[in-house]
Copies of this chain bind each other. A is one copy, B any other.
Amino acid sequence: MKSPFQLPPDLSINSSPKRALSIMRRIWGGRGVFTCTIGNTLTSTIPGVSDAGDTPELTLFTPAADVELLFHGRTLCMDGLPINPGGIPTPATLTMAALGLSGMAVHVLNGGTKVKPHVPFYDMGGECGQDIRNGRALNNVRQSYEKGVMLGEMFSRDHDFLIASESCAGGTTTALAVMMAMGVLKENLVSSSSPKNPRELKSKIVSEALQAAGIELGGMSDRPLQAMECVGDPTMPANVGLVVGAARKIPVILGGGTQMCAILAGALAMDKGIEENLLLGTTRWMVNDPNSDICRIVEGIADIPIVSVNMDYGQSPYEGLQAYEWGYIKDGVGCGGSSVASILSTCGHIGCQQLLDRVHQEYRRMLNL
């Protein structure tokens, strides 16, 4: 018997409270499946764009390493943990904790990668994305989208809800480009895994990308797949399809920050009818970021609830984790969405304290502390 729904104290509703409660009630005590769509875009190797990796070249290893962590608790395609410069560990550390505590299954979608993980993954038919400044970033977008739809429908057959997430370095830049092409975003409000969000550099890259593709601001408002083909990254068409296919039947948590907003915009442009099944699940760090504005981005797309988990690493004994409080990382690999899901699916039996303890335990194990 599951206990009656009540809003867990470790979750905050940041928009659309009525819809948020309706979706959370449906997820309460339910059986969910966590998915992570990985991809590489050469955009992440432009110096200064992405901090999701110790060096520009290592950003291409981060997605594969992230999902290896989710399966094995350690990386196989590279040594050590994926880190930001300065040694700040990947948000997959929190995702691992949420999945480990809740027992939820994880399935990996490979949207298109240069570095392949040693885990089983769904081949979505895509390839590593080109530097978006070419204006021709992706191949096979329609195929990836269609496979995503089929897979989302399949997961909806035997799960009560689904979490969609991503690991793709450079993904906030491609998200900005796609959202500007679609016209849901008119200024650069996207986040960064660095507290020094390189906004000017990103805006410049996006301008060049849109110009190379011959796209005006909002010129592709009803053509999200074409926008992605020109200036997106390879997680996008697969993830949009997955969300559409699943949300036709079950609630879907878009797990992530401003990067997942491009998926939200794309999915609603493909099928407006899924709106009442979508919720954005993220972290307190993301919602409170002074250098981005996820609430305003979502406002520009649709009336979609944003629910955040109130994780706080301020008292953590580990500097790598404390750095999350200084504006590093914020979200990624569905760490916020999986935390929200683990709290709801266990009827609140899991909370921030258990998540924090588990993160510490995993962190010590992985770093031999």
Nearest B residue to A241 by beta-carbon distance? B120
Contacts of A31 in B (CB 8 A): 158
Distance (whole angstroms) from the CB of A232 to the closest CB of chain B: 19
Nearest B residue to A245 by beta-carbon distance? B120
Distance (whole angstroms) from the CB of A225 to the closest CB of chain B: 17
Are the CB atoms of B157 and A107 closer together than 8 Å? no
Contacts of A148 in B (CB 8 A): 120
* Distance between Cα atoms of A317 and B122 in the complex (Å): 40
Offer 20 A-B interface pairs, CB within 8 angstroms, sorted by A: A31-B158, A103-B157, A104-B158, A105-B155, A105-B157, A106-B154, A107-B154, A109-B120, A118-B146, A119-B150, A120-B122, A120-B123, A120-B147, A120-B150, A120-B154, A121-B122, A121-B123, A122-B122, A122-B123, A123-B123
Contacts of A106 in B (CB 8 A): 154
* Distance between Cα atoms of A165 and B105 in the complex (Å): 21
Distance (whole angstroms) from the CB of A257 to the closest CB of chain B: 26
Contacts of A119 in B (CB 8 A): 147, 150
With A104-B157, A158-B31, A159-B158 already in contact, the answer to whether A71 and B150 are too (CB < 8 A) is yes
* Distance between Cα atoms of A190 and B112 in the complex (Å): 41
Count of A residues near B, CB < 8 Å?
Answer: 28
* Distance between Cα atoms of A118 and B143 in the complex (Å): 8
Q: Give 8 closest A-B pairs by Cβ, nearest first.
A: A120-B147, A123-B123, A105-B157, A120-B151, A105-B158, A105-B154, A120-B122, A120-B150
Number of copies: 2
* Distance between Cα atoms of A31 and B33 in the complex (Å): 14
Distance (whole angstroms) from the CB of A33 to the closest CB of chain B: 7
Distance (whole angstroms) from the CB of A246 to the closest CB of chain B: 12
* Distance between Cα atoms of A122 and B116 in the complex (Å): 13
Contact string, A120-136, partner B, CB cutoff 8 A, digits 1/0?
11111000000000000
Contacts of A155 in B (CB 8 A): 105
Q: Does A235 sit within 8 A of B, measured CB to CB? A: no
* Distance between Cα atoms of A107 and B122 in the complex (Å): 10
* Distance between Cα atoms of A155 and B159 in the complex (Å): 12
Contacts of A71 in B (CB 8 A): 150
Nearest B residue to A33 by beta-carbon distance? B158
Distance (whole angstroms) from the CB of A40 to the closest CB of chain B: 16
- Which residues 185-203 of A have a CB within 8 angstroms of B? none
Q: Does A282 sit within 8 A of B, measured CB to CB? A: no
Q: Does A75 sit within 8 A of B, measured CB to CB? A: no
Are the CB atoms of B105 and A123 closer together than 8 Å? no
Nearest B residue to A109 by beta-carbon distance? B120
* Distance between Cα atoms of A123 and B154 in the complex (Å): 17
Nearest B residue to A31 by beta-carbon distance? B158
- Which residues 330-345 of A have a CB within 8 angstroms of B? none
